[in-house]
Structure 1
Amino acid sequence: MIAFLGLGRMGVPMARRLVEAGHDVTTWNRTPRTVPGARTAASPAEAVTEAELVITMLSDPPAVTHVLGLAAPGLREGTLVVEMSTIGPGAVAALRDVLPASVALVDAPVLGSVDPAREGTLTVLAGGSPGDLARCRKVLEVFGHVREIGGPGAGAAMKLAVMSAVVPAQVLLAETVAYARAAGVDTGALLDVLGASPLAALAERVRPAVEGTRAERRYGLGLAAKDLALAAHPVQTLAGAAGSRLDAAVAAGLGGEDLTAVFPHIAGGPAPRARAGVDKLNPASVPATNGRYSHATRAGDLLFVSGQVALDAEGNVIGEDDMTAQSEQVMEYLSRILADQGCTFDDVTHIRTFLTDMSRLREHAAVRTRHITGEPPASTTVEVSRLFRPGLLVEVELTAVIPPAAAG
């Protein structure tokens, strides 16, 4: 059995992948949340009681130390703890004072954001003894490509080394954009030129921020500032300067935004749309729309999800005359859209269901109950004469509140 502690933006899709891979999973989160197919524990100690493997995916070193301290009384002899947060080698070493001597420890932070976590394409940087790494390798491969870096703490050190290059590079590019504007250089043309250089991928990544559009939150600015602080070292002069830039952006209230929010902060160009604005969302994990609507809109911390139906990427009906199959597909699409914004069904405030045949409500309700396992949200269910495509039996829309950890 696997215990997964921490269900933030990365934790939810990672825990879901374990369930989908057939693992027996128990989860815990400080703010109670559920993952379909996994049990939910009331405390860290309860979550780890029967676990052979414990995975932590938390925000920072104090959170990891605190949660594993709470879990320690429930850990069995021989349990393996895999710490996947970004906390640095020093904090990994300090965990030995928190964990019982009979409990093994591997540090395995990841490179990648929410979409790779959902798709199983993260890069896992694993450090630990050869025996401990062998014990957990197959589980870690559920999340993506595993690179065994070295002994205990090596994975954590590698993660900070990578971030020490990736984060300052974005800050440097933000300063370059600021210089270009001051010099009268067209920033769109600048990005086009950089697109033919070794910085091509980074230039494309930051283009929305340069153009004044609020980027999808993939790597929080506040987390980036935390990572650079953990990597602080006398030789890290450029990273130190970038960290100071990010600290100032955090102080300006941008900690919960994507890292690319540093561009308007530094360049003084168009600001990202404020939280009070409306963002149109079309996650890549859900088949594209016909262009006449978005799968969801976000206004502040409210998420409004369009009616989802059982159509595949080519527009074909999934599960002809099969209410169970169509309901499963609809709930899966809804869960992917929620996860894109750091939500689960626990965060849903209202769900509205349209059925073409109310006599088949029990079939749909059985599926819905498997996905919504906590206290149910407000709900409306109505029968309609038909949906927009022949063969469709059910359509479901919902509203949710984005939790503080995801909203920043």
Structure 2
Amino acid sequence: MIAFLGQGRMGTPMARRLVEAGHDVRTWRRVSGVTAAAAVDGADLVITMLSDPAAVREVMTAALPGLRAGTTVVEMSTIGPEAVRGLRALLPAGVGLVDAPVLGSVGPAASGSLTVLAGGDVSGCREVLSVFGSVKELGPLGAGAAMKIAVMSALVPAQVLLAETFAYGEAHGVDRDALVGALADTPLGVPAGRLRTPSEQTRYSLAHAAKDLELAAWEGASMSAAARARLQEARAAGLGERDLAAVVDHVAGAGSGERARRAVPLNLPTVPATNGMYSHAVRAGDTLYVSGQAAFDEQGNIVGEGSMAAQAEHVFQVMARILADQGATFDDIAFIRTYLTDMEDRREYGEVRRKYITGTPPASTTVEVSRLFMPGLLLEVDVIVALPSRRAG
């Protein structure tokens, strides 16, 4: 029996393909009223097709009591290799894991013409995966997830580039159809044709495209960072559930002055989730405001309890991810503020801080406080960053 967790735009047609191929399938979605553990109970194969790394971890944590030794989990969401490694650590040793994200949207999911990018030992699920389309076996666990992010870090920025190309053409009196015709014989011809008339149906949501580029964030990815900023603006403007093609009208309609003033909240999948009452960072024009970062993990547990050095390392590593997401480094920090529960720890904290902030010191304030928002936290750090204008959105 196959348990298929996730019945969204992609999950529904994919589960239907399995049923039509003669497999015994039990589907599950959050609003079903059935627990994830009950959904996977007795399953030989568990397939997940969920929205992001946090959703996968949440659902699979809930499913743990129902998993039995010998079951294989096939993770088909787009969550990146780091999250796949985290999932492997979460699952019991007797439960197998394959990462198999797909290339393609709703249409190919329904017709069985997706490209499955598989990592890990697929010997026990190769036949099932072939129901969805062609299977590319790419190597060890995590290889499929890494390949998916690498591909999307090229495809998505290319579509944002075309949206800007259309906006330039419109501003200079170039007919859009004529522009698409001129691009037809170039490598950008096919995506330009798809973007010419945005689809009313959401095949690949703008929010998912932004999430994919957030997963692809790394310090040297300047073009990807610019595309990601565009999509984050569009998502903040309420276009997240629209098809990615909606970025065309967003770019054309948003004046540069308006974009510069808009505050765009940023919450990376690679940073422990907030409680919903704040965002980890907000970008306004060329300035990035990073909320107070503290040493806790995705489950809300203290990292490095009792150790200032361990907590400081965690805080600066998280901050590094946030900065890299916006194409910035620690050299771009204009102001840093540190809250310590014991000023006697400032020397130990300073040793860690100097490992990350190595250039001209930014403006700085350090204060002692009686306590922080979670018992056991020894420090909290927030920063204001002057984003390099050449990389800002």
Q: Pick from 188, 209, 216: which aligns with 1:231?
A: 216
Task: Describe the superposition over 1:282-327 as per-residue Cα deviations: whole angstroms up to 9, x where unpaired.
Answer: xxxxxxxxxxxxxxxxxxxxxxxxxxxxxxxxxxxxxxxxxxxxxx
**Residues 1:111 and 2:110 are matched in the alignment:** no
1:97 positional shift: 2.5
CA distance in 2, matches of 1:179, 1:15: 42
The answer to whether the Cα contact below 8 Å between 1:221 and 1:254 also exists between their aligned partners in 2 is yes
1:44 positional shift: 1.2
Aligned residue type for 2:222: T
**Residues 1:154 and 2:143 are matched in the alignment:** yes
- Look up the match of 1:125: 117
The answer to whether the Cα contact below 8 Å between 1:127 and 1:155 also exists between their aligned partners in 2 is yes
**Which stretches in structure 1 are left out of the alignment for 5+ residues?**
33-40, 270-408
- Look up the match of 1:20: 20
The TM-score, its normalising length taken from structure 1, stands at: 0.61
1:9 positional shift: 0.9
- Look up the match of 2:204: 219
CA distance in 2, matches of 1:248, 1:109: 26
CA distance in 2, matches of 1:215, 1:175: 20
CA distance in 2, matches of 1:187, 1:115: 26
Q: Secondary structure at the match of 1:133?
A: coil
The answer to whether the Cα contact below 8 Å between 2:100 and 2:145 also exists between their aligned partners in 1 is yes
Q: Pick from 15, 33, 42: which aligns with 1:50?
A: 42
1:216 positional shift: 2.2
- Look up the match of 1:341: none
- Look up the match of 1:98: 90
- Look up the match of 1:250: 235
Task: Describe the superposition over 1:259-287 as per-residue Cα deviations: whole angstroms up to 9, x where unpaired.
Answer: 01000111129xxxxxxxxxxxxxxxxxx
5 Å matches for 1:154-233? 154-209=143-198, 214-233=199-218
5 Å matches for 1:308-323? none
CA distance in 1, matches of 2:51, 2:187: 31
Q: Secondary structure at the match of 2:181?
A: helix
Matched-pair identity in %: 63
**Residues 1:63 and 2:63 are matched in the alignment:** no
1:234 positional shift: 1.5
**Which stretches in structure 2 are left out of the alignment for 5+ residues?**
255-393
The answer to whether the Cα contact below 8 Å between 2:115 and 2:135 also exists between their aligned partners in 1 is yes
1:94 positional shift: 0.3
Total equivalences in the alignment: 254
5 Å matches for 1:232-311? 232-268=217-253
The answer to whether the Cα contact below 8 Å between 2:205 and 2:240 also exists between their aligned partners in 1 is yes
By relative contact order (CA 8 Å, sep 6+), the higher-ranking structure is 1
Q: Secondary structure at the match of 1:169?
A: helix
- Look up the match of 2:331: none
The answer to whether the Cα contact below 8 Å between 2:176 and 2:196 also exists between their aligned partners in 1 is no
CA distance in 2, matches of 1:215, 1:195: 23
Aligned residue type for 1:257: R
CA distance in 2, matches of 1:182, 1:3: 51
- Look up the match of 1:336: none
Q: Secondary structure at the match of 1:31?
A: helix
CA distance in 1, matches of 2:20, 2:249: 40
Regions of 4+ moved over 2 Å: none
Q: Secondary structure at the match of 2:158?
A: helix
The answer to whether the Cα contact below 8 Å between 1:208 and 1:215 also exists between their aligned partners in 2 is no
The answer to whether the Cα contact below 8 Å between 1:28 and 1:42 also exists between their aligned partners in 2 is yes
CA distance in 1, matches of 2:248, 2:152: 18
Q: Secondary structure at the match of 1:227?
A: helix
CA RMSD in angstroms comes to: 1.2
- Look up the match of 1:11: 11
Aligned residue type for 1:18: L
1:181 positional shift: 1.5
- Look up the match of 1:309: none
Aligned residue type for 2:31: T
Q: Pick from 121, 139, 148: which aligns with 2:128?
A: 139
Aligned residue type for 2:194: R
CA distance in 1, matches of 2:66, 2:112: 29
- Look up the match of 1:29: 29
CA distance in 2, matches of 1:119, 1:268: 35
1:235 positional shift: 2.2
The answer to whether the Cα contact below 8 Å between 1:7 and 1:57 also exists between their aligned partners in 2 is yes
The answer to whether the Cα contact below 8 Å between 2:115 and 2:133 also exists between their aligned partners in 1 is yes
The answer to whether the Cα contact below 8 Å between 1:215 and 1:260 also exists between their aligned partners in 2 is no
The answer to whether the Cα contact below 8 Å between 1:3 and 1:27 also exists between their aligned partners in 2 is yes
The TM-score, its normalising length taken from structure 2, stands at: 0.63
